[in-house]
Chains A and B, each alone.
Chain A
């Protein structure tokens, strides 16, 4: 069915390695998000799955079948592009019908399927318009409808929300999530936006420099990062990382608390935190500052919920801060890989 597997996938553009030996397994029916900074190879992997790029080496399987030598149309996939790639000179109706026409589908079947897809996405009244007469959100729905009529086994979405403004993006994201749940088709979604990734993905694959860093559910990725890259990439502000006892210690800003706020009766890790700047964000405050004994000059952050009554904190002062032992993560100093939480 809609299972997608990549085996030792590699792609070179000239001497540039875009994808460097990725092994990946996307389960049937799940929504998998490829997340990473720009240039990490996430779009290239998607395009290789689609058949728009040829892998330099490695294998791609869709539904247990090696598809390396198949053209895009034979792979049973549908794709929604960044910017949608709608045909500007065709009406919405003809845009949606286009993939069916190429398969020489009979006219009455085309009509029925277009009506069905348009109804599902609520764009029936737009069928006789041209794409440029539509808003960004409507264009996205047309692109989805065009993908849907092919009844693919896998949906590939390449940053489909990046052309929308922030407010529309949130609602479009919810729509997408509901849509994906509703049809239950395997979906691979590429984004550089971690909020999108956390909100949409059943699982997230974090990529960097063409390598797969970690695959896991949103909470696994956030709570149990596999290495310092993932730890520092997710979260805003990201995980605090500092060197202590020959290894790297990490903790989330929301777990970095003033001594008086710490849970009683435990033995927390202690830090002297010199507050430089306090940012008031309405529901929370973010404290930026330095930790005594850290010479790397990095800024550390603490996040305090606004409605917590805490001791008065002033910029420029140093305070005793603590972290609950269960919230500490350790990483190898040389490789950056996660170390087990050893008991001391």
Chain B
């Protein structure tokens, strides 16, 4: 009689993939490999660079301790850059938050073509940043700015003013903040939308019955309820902006006179363009401990709220 069961060894192999202990690592493998090669390796390389005298001229890997960090901190440009980074990050994220909330509230209402609008909303976020930045550069161009044209023709500013958006220190900062917020707000709108739709209708109805007005309803009920999801969106936006240089680099290259220089763009200039890799790495890693701490506390706060 032929046994329906295979011999033990063959059977073990045949059901190998049914074992959670075997299949799990197998499925996770590619992701771990990817993180090791593309995230962890460059990160530790940068860590090493930041404490070495490595530059493209000498190619010496000699260990110099925290010298790069100290030297960087002494530089006037670096201190301006650090301040700019905070202004840029916090400014653009706050603006994105407000825009995101308004957009989410508008998209919550029923209107014809809502699905189309919801899809279009994704565009600023999904469009390649280089493409978007070129468009913005034209819109903010010193001579051909369509923004200026509209402002003048709407009689908001007189023709004699003609702001040079990317060429004046303060205006340049405002410009990059606005463009970065424009990139970020769809994401925050979608997060808000998800949060708002997750608030049960009965809860909203209850606030009306209980006599809460708009502000009380928003700040005492709705916002606290969607706070966890908002915090995650905020964390994403903040880390994303702190470490990003694309908008700045494509629009102003940090100018005029370093007034829009942020850590990412400065690190690129010092480390890659000028070849001082060690110092560039130090600049880019400067905020890492703070971001790590901020992330840690934020995630812990979220965990506490869950329980």
For the complex, is A73 an interface residue (Cβ under 8 Å from B)? yes
Task: Determine if A73 and B202 form an interchain contact, defined as CB atoms under 8 angstroms apart.
Answer: no
Interface residues as binary, B82-93 with A (CB distance below 8 Å gives 1, 0 otherwise) = 000000000000
Task: Determine if B205 and A98 form an interchain contact, defined as CB atoms under 8 angstroms apart.
Answer: no
For the complex, is B208 an interface residue (Cβ under 8 Å from A)? yes
- Chain A residues whose CB sits within 8 angstroms of the CB of B209 once the complex forms: 50, 52, 72-73, 77-79, 99
Chain A's closest residue to B204 (CB) is A85
Interface residues as binary, B203-230 with A (CB distance below 8 Å gives 1, 0 otherwise) = 1111011111100100001001101000
A125 to B105, CA, bound (A): 39
Task: Determine if A79 and B211 form an interchain contact, defined as CB atoms under 8 angstroms apart.
Answer: no
Task: Determine if B210 and A146 form an interchain contact, defined as CB atoms under 8 angstroms apart.
Answer: yes
Q: A95 to nearest B CB, angstroms?
A: 9
Task: Determine if B200 and A102 form an interchain contact, defined as CB atoms under 8 angstroms apart.
Answer: no
A186 to B224, CA, bound (A): 34
**Contacts A79-B206, A81-B205; A89 near B225 (Cβ below 8 A):** yes
A194 to B298, CA, bound (A): 50
Interface residues of B in 177-222 (CB under 8 A from A): 200, 202-206, 208-213, 216, 221
Chain A's closest residue to B211 (CB) is A73
- Chain B residues whose CB sits within 8 angstroms of the CB of A71 once the complex forms: 208, 211
A102 to B207, CA, bound (A): 9
Q: A138 to nearest B CB, angstroms?
A: 17
**Contacts A83-B200, A86-B203; A102 near B210 (Cβ below 8 A):** yes
Q: B287 to nearest A CB, angstroms?
A: 32
For the complex, is A288 an interface residue (Cβ under 8 Å from B)? no
Contact residues of B: prevailing secondary structure: helix
Q: B249 to nearest A CB, angstroms?
A: 42
Q: A69 to nearest B CB, angstroms?
A: 15
- Chain A residues whose CB sits within 8 angstroms of the CB of B211 once the complex forms: 71-73, 99, 102-103
Task: Determine if A85 and B200 form an interchain contact, defined as CB atoms under 8 angstroms apart.
Answer: yes
Task: Determine if B208 and A73 form an interchain contact, defined as CB atoms under 8 angstroms apart.
Answer: yes
Q: A182 to nearest B CB, angstroms?
A: 22
A83 to B206, CA, bound (A): 11
Task: Determine if A83 and B202 form an interchain contact, defined as CB atoms under 8 angstroms apart.
Answer: yes
Question: Tally of A-B residue pairs with Cβ under 8 A?
Answer: 59
A72 to B209, CA, bound (A): 5
For the complex, is A82 an interface residue (Cβ under 8 Å from B)? yes
Task: Determine if A88 and B225 form an interchain contact, defined as CB atoms under 8 angstroms apart.
Answer: yes
- Chain A residues whose CB sits within 8 angstroms of the CB of B208 once the complex forms: 51-52, 71-73
A79 to B210, CA, bound (A): 9
Task: Determine if A52 and B205 form an interchain contact, defined as CB atoms under 8 angstroms apart.
Answer: yes
Interface residues of B in 126-168 (CB under 8 A from A): none
- Chain B residues whose CB sits within 8 angstroms of the CB of A98 once the complex forms: 210, 212
Chain B's closest residue to A147 (CB) is B209
Q: A77 to nearest B CB, angstroms?
A: 7
Task: Determine if B203 and A87 form an interchain contact, defined as CB atoms under 8 angstroms apart.
Answer: yes
Interface-centre pick from B205, B221, B224 (highest chain A CB count, 10 A): B205
For the complex, is A84 an interface residue (Cβ under 8 Å from B)? yes
A180 to B209, CA, bound (A): 20
Interface-centre pick from B205, B206, B211 (highest chain A CB count, 10 A): B206
- Chain B residues whose CB sits within 8 angstroms of the CB of A85 once the complex forms: 200, 202-206
Task: Determine if A87 and B206 form an interchain contact, defined as CB atoms under 8 angstroms apart.
Answer: yes
Interface-centre pick from A71, A78, A82, A89 (highest chain B CB count, 10 A): A89
Chain A's closest residue to B216 (CB) is A102
Q: A76 to nearest B CB, angstroms?
A: 11
A73 to B210, CA, bound (A): 6
A81 to B204, CA, bound (A): 11
Task: Determine if B202 and A82 form an interchain contact, defined as CB atoms under 8 angstroms apart.
Answer: yes
Chain B's closest residue to A81 (CB) is B202
- Chain B residues whose CB sits within 8 angstroms of the CB of A84 once the complex forms: 202
- Chain B residues whose CB sits within 8 angstroms of the CB of A47 once the complex forms: 205
- Chain A residues whose CB sits within 8 angstroms of the CB of B221 once the complex forms: 87
- Chain A residues whose CB sits within 8 angstroms of the CB of B203 once the complex forms: 85-88
Chain A's closest residue to B205 (CB) is A52
Interface-centre pick from A72, A78, A83 (highest chain B CB count, 10 A): A72
- Chain B residues whose CB sits within 8 angstroms of the CB of A81 once the complex forms: 202, 205-206
- Chain A residues whose CB sits within 8 angstroms of the CB of B206 once the complex forms: 79, 81, 85-87, 146
A87 to B200, CA, bound (A): 10
Chain B's closest residue to A71 (CB) is B208
Q: B111 to nearest A CB, angstroms?
A: 14
Interface residues of B in 250-290 (CB under 8 A from A): none
A98 to B212, CA, bound (A): 9
- Chain B residues whose CB sits within 8 angstroms of the CB of A52 once the complex forms: 205, 208-209
Mark B residues whose CB is within 8 Å of A.
200, 202-206, 208-213, 216, 221, 224-225, 227
Chosen A-B contacts, 19 in total, with CB atoms closer than 8 Å, are: A50-B209, A51-B208, A71-B208, A73-B209, A77-B209, A79-B205, A79-B209, A81-B202, A81-B206, A83-B202, A85-B200, A85-B202, A85-B203, A85-B205, A87-B203, A87-B221, A88-B203, A98-B210, A99-B211
By Cβ-Cβ distance, the 8 closest A-B pairs, closest first, are A85-B202, A73-B211, A81-B202, A85-B206, A99-B210, A102-B211, A89-B224, A85-B203
Given A73-B209, A85-B202, A98-B210, 16 more pairs with CB closer than 8 A: A50-B205, A71-B208, A73-B211, A82-B202, A83-B202, A84-B202, A85-B200, A85-B205, A86-B206, A88-B203, A88-B225, A98-B212, A99-B210, A102-B216, A146-B206, A150-B210
